[in-house]
Chains A and B, each alone.
Chain A
Amino acid sequence: MKRFLGFVKKEFLHIFRDVRTLIILFGIPVIQILLFGFVVSTDLKNAPVAFLDLSRDEMTQKVSDKICSSGFFRRSETLLNYNDIDKVLRKNETKAVIIFEKDFGRKLFSEGTAAISIITDGSEPNMATLITNYITAIVTDFNRELAGTQVTGTLLVQPEVRMFYNPSLKGHFMFVPGVITLIMILICALMTSVTITREKEFGTMEVLLVSPLKPVQIIIGKVMPYFLLSFINVIMILLLSWFVFGLPIKGSLILLLAESMLYILMSLSLGIFVSTVSKNMQQAIFISFVGLMLPTILLSGFIFPIENMPKGYDWIAALMPPRYFIIIIKNIMIKGTGFFYVWKETMILIIFTLAFIALSIRKFKIRLQ
């Protein structure tokens, strides 16, 4: 036992002496949470739109002004003819062109209807939908105002909406849990896989194996400092989210921390498994970073909801551990659910952890043979 503790102490010292890496290991999550909380947003602000006004009357002026003063848009250019649209969109400085048809004002009042066409740059689909929807909403609002000046008739059905759990529609609620999930699994898997393969690459693994320490003790000893480090990281991130973004932890903090520890454990064991299949650090890094990064971002439900994906992807997503943790963390933090709602996902994470450990042990035994 004493030998083991001595080994663990050596591993701790080893890590804490490398100040530069330490700063980065604590700094990465902090900075990235800050960045993404502040940077990532799907709000529209001052999106540049161009106007092709074939009427230039009082009505078109009113509508244009309403659009440009909404805060969502700003006037980028005034076009003179249809051919300019392609040119201006290609330059990428204008996102949409709003076209008022000829005799707009007159048609509106004599025939009861006039047409606005929006040509949106579809090369950025998420922006495009937002822009079109916002412009349409502004025009609809304008319609409402118009109708309000008439004596009879209003919009017939007026729906009201309550946005549950996130009344101010903050983007953080999606992104902060997602960033936590992403960063923790990448860092943990990377850390453990690199630290173990390092010994392999420099030949010191043999030295360790020959020592009186059992292989299990070696692995645990190597992984423990990272467990502690990651746990501190999670606490820092949660604190940051709370103080800087006002992200609540509606549910039980203890449950959240416990689940986080489970997730960290799972990620660390993934790293161990990666190290058993890698011959050197380069390989380990490739698998645990390049191999994991994009699938985690794209398939875990972090940014793109899994329900929206084509058939068959729910199976693929089912293989991604981060997917389950995102559900757990969102439920506990934002909805405030108890364990009862997340027990399934928790079980799955436990199974993943055990599976990685079991596979690693098997691989390790085969190598020793």
Chain B
Amino acid sequence: MRTIFYLIRKEFTQIFRDKFIGRAIFGIPIVQMLILVPAVTFEIKNVELCIIDRDMTTESRELVNQLEGSTFFKVRFSTYSEQEANNLLYRDKCDLVLQIPSGFGEETGNGNPGRLLVSANAINAVNAQLSWAYLNGVIRDYNMNIIAKDISGQSFAPVPRIQVTNRYWYNESLNYKYYMLPGVLGILVLAIGFILAGLNLVKEKESGTIEQINVTPIKKYQFMLAKMVPFLIIGLIDLALGLIIGKLTFNIPFEGSIAILFLGSAIFMVAVLGLALFISTFSSTQQQFMFTAFFFIIIFVLMSGIFTPLESMPVWAQKFDLINPAAYVMRINRMVMLKGSTFQDVSREIYSLMVIAIVFTALAVSRYRKTV
């Protein structure tokens, strides 16, 4: 047992001897979190509209007013030429073009549906859909106003309509930061741990120091453990730092138990490190390892559910995510921090992560041979 202690001490000494790395393993996560987290949001602001008002009636002007009054839209341009409007769209000067045909005011006044034509720049499909949804919302309000005004006119009988209201729980304001911070943190911890641990082992192979180790009575598991523990500790420290920053700078909520959070993250790290070490047993140069690591890290990250919801992925992707440690830890972090989920709620995630961690670590230990 004391052997492990000596080995771990050596690992820490080596890590911190490289001043740059010693600072970067804590510095990079801190800096990236402070800068990146505020940037991420799907909220749409300032959708720029170009209006073609061929009607120029009170009704059409009122519609434009309502649009101007909404927080989402900015009426930037107004023109009579469809060509000019499309040009503006093409040159990214506006996001939506709203065309109000002549006769609009008359028709809506008479109970006929007034038509509107909207052209949207749909390259960013999500933005386009959301803008479209918001625009519909404004138009709905406009509709309501017309009905309200004409209630006396009795042009129409009241139509039964279902009213929909909604509330977002756990994150009332849909603050994306709450969602992204644990995600960004998780990704950084994943990348740092994976790369450092793997490079470390490959470097020992490349420089020959591993031979000297292989010739000692050290047990395989002791060596592997010593390769994992320092990075596990560093990862957890990064987690703690991240949470502190999150609380102080972004005021993220913390509904659940810190213990569960750290437990989940610890098991996650073991899984990540185990895989990294397993891959490094196949790599003969640091360069080789790095590109393999790149491959895995990017896949894990982009499929972790942080940018695109897991439920929207095709079935085969969701199956793959069964072995993606990042997907599990994202879920656990979110559930515990934002929803205050209990151990019971996350138990399935935790047990699955544990299985993955054990498998990857076992693979790494068994692949490593002291006697060739």
Contacts and interface: CB of A to CB of B under 8 A. Distances in A.
Contact of B129 (A165, A169, A308): A169
A357 B333 CA distance: 42
A256 B291 CA distance: 27
Question: Interface extent on A, as a size class?
Answer: 35 or more
22 contacts: A42-B125, A92-B345, A114-B163, A115-B165, A118-B167, A125-B175, A150-B159, A159-B116, A160-B116, A163-B120, A167-B122, A169-B125, A279-B18, A279-B20, A282-B199, A283-B20, A285-B290, A289-B195, A298-B39, A299-B39, A307-B46, A313-B39
Contacts of B179: 123-125
Contacts of B35: 295, 316
Interface residues of B, number: 116
Interface in B123-169: 123-130, 132-133, 135-136, 139-140, 142-143, 146-147, 155-169
A222 interface: no
A308 B44 contact: yes
Contacts of B123: 165-166, 173-174, 330, 334-335
Contacts of B178: 123
A293 interface: yes
Contacts of A152: 111, 155-157
A112 B158 contact: yes
A135 B18 CA distance: 55
Contact of A125 (B42, B111, B311): B42
A109 B288 CA distance: 70
Interface stretch (A187-195, A235-243, A257-265, A267-275): A187-195
B213 interface: no
Residue with the greatest number of chain A CB neighbours at <10 A, chosen from B36, B45, B90, B164: B164
Interface string B183-214: 01001100110011001000100000000000
A133 B308 CA distance: 17
Contacts of A136: 164, 166
A92 B39 CA distance: 26
Given A40-B302, A157-B143, A290-B192, A113 B160 contact: yes
Contacts of A120: 166-169
A335 B163 contact: no
A108 B188 contact: no
A308 B24 CA distance: 30
B21 interface: yes
A217 interface: no
A98 to B, nearest CB: 9
B116 to A, nearest CB: 4
Contact of A158 (B116, B172, B291): B116
B174 interface: yes
Contacts of B298: 28, 32, 183, 186, 293
B295 A146 contact: no
B217 interface: no
Interface string A123-167: 111111100110111011011001100111111111111111111
Contacts of A63: 162
A159 to B, nearest CB: 4
Chain B interface helix/strand/loop/mixed: helix
Given A21-B287, A24-B294, A160-B118, 20 more contacts: A21-B288, A28-B294, A42-B126, A89-B170, A90-B339, A112-B160, A120-B168, A123-B179, A123-B339, A126-B176, A136-B164, A139-B164, A146-B159, A164-B86, A165-B121, A165-B123, A190-B290, A190-B294, A194-B286, A334-B123
B3 interface: no
Interface stretch (A4-12, A44-52, A346-354): A44-52
A288 to B, nearest CB: 10
A187 B172 CA distance: 40
B294 A161 contact: no
Interface in B296-314: 297-299, 301-303, 307-309, 311-314
A36 B302 contact: yes
Contacts of B132: 161
A330 B119 CA distance: 19
B256 to A, nearest CB: 9
Given A46-B311, A169-B125, A158 B170 contact: no
Interface in A39-88: 39-48, 63, 85-86
